[in-house]
């Protein structure tokens, strides 16, 4: 029996408790590309597909944050995380089985909404994993989790996604690729549920928050009332603007507008993801070597210029407005490299300006702001694509690539806000609180 709250655990426990990450990532993955294609069967309007898919982001805050907060303050007979996780997973299994069978949109939409909410209800599983793995073993556990992430990438994008439309005719039944994907996810999640329910035991912590009253008013007050944190929230707001992509429109751009198969699309994503592995290490090295503020400024500007260059290349240079696979990978990787640089630098840089006792509060606040901004922006992109296509394309035709114009506009806003933050830092309006109280005699270094 694997248990929580031990100072040291066998490495086999670490492997066993990390393996379910594959099931949870797979279940979440079903709500991206697979869900887009499932919804595409019923909806022609990209804005509708984007809206339903983006509810995932809304539930991150409305369900995920709440459930994680509540799970800190309760205790049931089987633990504080497991009841939420097991309940969510059982219902998710039922949804995964039913979703590919549904032929009625009025059944599908509520089912998908419930499913997305349940996916976030199972978020305390991440904390449960960390409660099993002691701090000194978390580094290598993270390595195992990364390995599982790559296995997921290969499995879903190179194998499963391309099979979405396939059918296999057996003497007594027909199975389609989408059903296979959803049911595989359900099968793996079912086995994982049994494992967590019967092989993992939560031990009641000595210092528990169970006696404390659950107060969301206090939670929101502590997160948003401190004015010294507002610039940080502004920064996370701008980072969301810079990181926004096409979302579901990207999937449809690839398959419907550019005419690539799902297999080609999946391989492209997987190759991009795998190339990012060594890039992450290189970028991490550089992030520590140079001035973070400078590196961040250059990288966000570079990111925006890269998006503009890609748009111009496809729209004005390519005669058929359709990049080849290697061109997509090349531009994608250069963009990913710059994006990785800015995201790697942005985290530590932001923490330089957060008082040390407020880091958890800022993480919660940034999460809420980032999720809500992302929700609005993703829907904004899809509405823009719909508007642009109606205005400039022949009837019935959608130009998903026009979403890049919206991305460029949002990128400009993001760069503007980020540069404002940098200027405020340079002028000393924003102080490096995170560095100030390292030691009592130490001066805060220049940013």
Residues engaged in binding another protein (CB under 8 A): 3, 5-13, 15-16, 19, 40-41, 158-159, 162-163, 165-170, 175-177, 180, 184, 187-188, 191, 194-195, 198-199, 203-204, 206, 257, 259, 261-264, 267, 319-322, 325-326, 394, 397
Minimum CB–partner distance for residue 154 and another protein (Å): 10
**CA 224 – CA 311 distance, rounded (Å):** 38
CA distances 210 to 67, 76, 79, 219, Å, are 14, 10, 11, 16
Give the nearer residue to another protein in terms of CB position, either 92 or 229. 92
219: Cβ contacts below 8 Å, ≥ 6 apart: 69, 364
Give the nearer residue to another protein in terms of CB position, either 76 or 326. 326
Give the nearer residue to another protein in terms of CB position, either 143 or 284. 143
Give the nearer residue to another protein in terms of CB position, either 10 or 348. 10
Closest by CA position to 399, among listed 411, 407, 388 = 388
| Residue pair 400/384 in contact by the 8 Å Cβ criterion | no
**CA 92 – CA 119 distance, rounded (Å):** 7
Give the nearer residue to another protein in terms of CB position, either 397 or 437. 397
Give the nearer residue to another protein in terms of CB position, either 111 or 180. 180
Give the nearer residue to another protein in terms of CB position, either 235 or 252. 252
Minimum CB–partner distance for residue 200 and another protein (Å): 12
Residue at token pair 């019935």: 396
Minimum CB–partner distance for residue 128 and another protein (Å): 16
Minimum CB–partner distance for residue 263 and another protein (Å): 5
Minimum CB–partner distance for residue 324 and another protein (Å): 9
Encode burial over 271-290: b for 16+ CB neighbours within 10 A, e otherwise: bbbeebeeeeeebeeebeee
Three-class secondary structure of residue 432 per DSSP: coil
Burial of 31 (0-12, 13-18, 19+ CB in 10 A): buried
Give the nearer residue to another protein in terms of CB position, either 195 or 298. 195
**CA 330 – CA 254 distance, rounded (Å):** 15
| Residue pair 180/164 in contact by the 8 Å Cβ criterion | no
Minimum CB–partner distance for residue 166 and another protein (Å): 6
Minimum CB–partner distance for residue 20 and another protein (Å): 10
| Residue pair 247/423 in contact by the 8 Å Cβ criterion | no
Which tokens go with 214?
A: 């659950």
Give the nearer residue to another protein in terms of CB position, either 268 or 418. 268
Give the nearer residue to another protein in terms of CB position, either 183 or 298. 183
Give CA torsion, residues 58, 59, 62, 68, to 10 deg. -140
Give the nearer residue to another protein in terms of CB position, either 28 or 264. 264
**CA 396 – CA 319 distance, rounded (Å):** 22
| Residue pair 384/405 in contact by the 8 Å Cβ criterion | yes
Minimum CB–partner distance for residue 48 and another protein (Å): 15
Minimum CB–partner distance for residue 243 and another protein (Å): 27
Minimum CB–partner distance for residue 26 and another protein (Å): 11
> Where on the phi/psi map is residue 321: left (φ > 0), alpha (ψ -120 to 50), or beta?
left
**CA 306 – CA 129 distance, rounded (Å):** 38
Minimum CB–partner distance for residue 186 and another protein (Å): 12
Burial of 261 (0-12, 13-18, 19+ CB in 10 A): middle
Overall residue count recorded for the chain in this entry: 447
């Amino acid at each position: 029996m694997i248990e929580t709250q031990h100072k040291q655990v066998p490495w086999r426990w670490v492997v066993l408790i990390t393996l379910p990450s594959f099931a949870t990532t797979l279940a979440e993955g079903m709500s991206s590309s697979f869900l887009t294609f499932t919804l595409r069967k019923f909806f022609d309007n990209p804005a509708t597909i984007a809206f339903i898919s983006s509810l995932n982001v809304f539930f991150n805050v409305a369900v995920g944050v709440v459930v994680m907060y509540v799970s800190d303050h309760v205790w049931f007979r089987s633990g504080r995380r497991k009841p939420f996780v097991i309940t969510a997973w059982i219902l998710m299994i039922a949804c995964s089985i039913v979703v590919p069978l549904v032929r009625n949109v009025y059944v599908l939409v509520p089912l998908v909404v419930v499913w997305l909410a349940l996916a976030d209800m199972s978020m305390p599983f991440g904390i449960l994993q960390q409660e099993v793995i002691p701090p000194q073993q978390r580094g290598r556990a993270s390595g195992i989790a990364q390995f599982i992430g790559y296995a997921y990438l290969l499995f879903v994008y190179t194998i499963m996604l391309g099979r979405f439309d396939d059918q296999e005719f057996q003497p007594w039944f027909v199975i389609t690729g989408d059903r296979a994907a959803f049911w595989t996810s359900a099968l793996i999640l079912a086995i994982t549920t049994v494992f967590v329910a019967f092989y993992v035991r939560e031990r009641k912590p000595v210092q528990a928050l169970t006696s404390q009253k659950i107060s969301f008013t206090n939670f929101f007050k502590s997160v948003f009332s401190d004015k010294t944190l507002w610039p940080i929230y502004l920064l996370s707001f701008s980072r969301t603007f810079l990181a926004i992509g096409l979302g579901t429109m990207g999937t449809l751009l690839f398959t419907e507008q550019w005419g690539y198969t799902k297999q080609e699309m999946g391989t492209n994503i997987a190759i991009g993801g795998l190339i990012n592995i060594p890039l992450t290490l290189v970028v991490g090295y550089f992030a520590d070597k140079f001035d973070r503020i400078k590196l961040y400024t250059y990288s966000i500007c570079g990111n925006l210029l890269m998006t503009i260059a890609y748009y111009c290349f496809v729209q004005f240079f390519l005669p058929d407005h359709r990049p080849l696979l290697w061109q997509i990978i090349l531009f994608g990787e250069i963009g990913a490299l710059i994006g990785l640089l800015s995201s790697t630098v942005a985290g530590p840089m932001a923490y330089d300006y957060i008082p040390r006792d407020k880091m958890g509060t800022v993480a919660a606040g940034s999460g809420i702001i980032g999720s809500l901004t992302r929700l609005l922006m993703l829907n904004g992109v899809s509405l823009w694509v719909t508007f642009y296509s109606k205005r400039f394309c022949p009837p019935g035709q959608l130009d998903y690539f026009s979403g890049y114009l919206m991305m460029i506009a949002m990128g400009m806003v993001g760069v503007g806000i980020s540069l404002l933050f940098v200027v405020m830092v340079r002028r000393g309006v924003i102080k490096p609180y995170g560095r100030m109280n390292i030691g009592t005699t130490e001066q805060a270094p220049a940013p």
